[in-house]
Amino acid sequence: MLLFCPNCSNVLSVSKVPMDSPIEEERGKNRMECRTCPYQYVIIEQSFFERKNFTFVEKDDVFGGANQFDNADKTPVQCPKDGCNGAEAAFYSIQIRSADEPMTNFYRCMTCGNRWRD
């Protein structure tokens, strides 16, 4: 969890309050301090953290799952699978190599469901 300075909006960092601090109960405790302005916040509680549990997303969910080709563009292309005479395929393009390489097209035959890439 990142905390930001209310004065200048920079990220606060954690540091120890020096032992020669004028306020005795703050000595040796942790504080959040801004490195660009004089703002600081002493952490009074023993622990200062926030726990978040993230759920993992399946790869198919990221790319659209079972319905990923429902709204995809379609093009007239012959399916490379033996025995299929499908002449139309849905496709999408992704840049998977460096920027100077062409984009990779992924196809799905609308007849048999075969997938391939170009």
Which one-letter amino acid corresponds to residue 41? Y
Q: Say whether 59 sits in a helix, a strand or coil.
A: helix
Is 16 labeled as ligand-binding? Answer: no
Q: Is 5 labelled as part of a ligand binding site?
A: yes
Run of H or E residues at 60:
helix 59-62
Q: Is 8 assigned a ligand-binding role in the annotation?
A: yes
Is residue 43 annotated as involved in ligand binding?
A: no
What whole-number distance in Å separates Cα of residue 26 and Cα of residue 24? 5
Has 84 been labeled as part of a binding site?
yes
Q: Is 79 annotated as a binding residue?
A: yes
49, 30 contact by CB (below 8 A): no
Could you give the 3-state DSSP secondary structure of residue 81? coil
Length of the chain: 118
Tell me: is residue 34 an annotated ligand-binding position: yes
Which two tokens mark 23?
């306020």
12 is in an annotated binding site: no
Annotated binding-site residue numbers for Zn(2+): 5, 8, 34, 37, 79, 84, 109, 112
Mark the binding-site residues, compressed into ranges: 5, 8, 34, 37, 79, 84, 109, 112
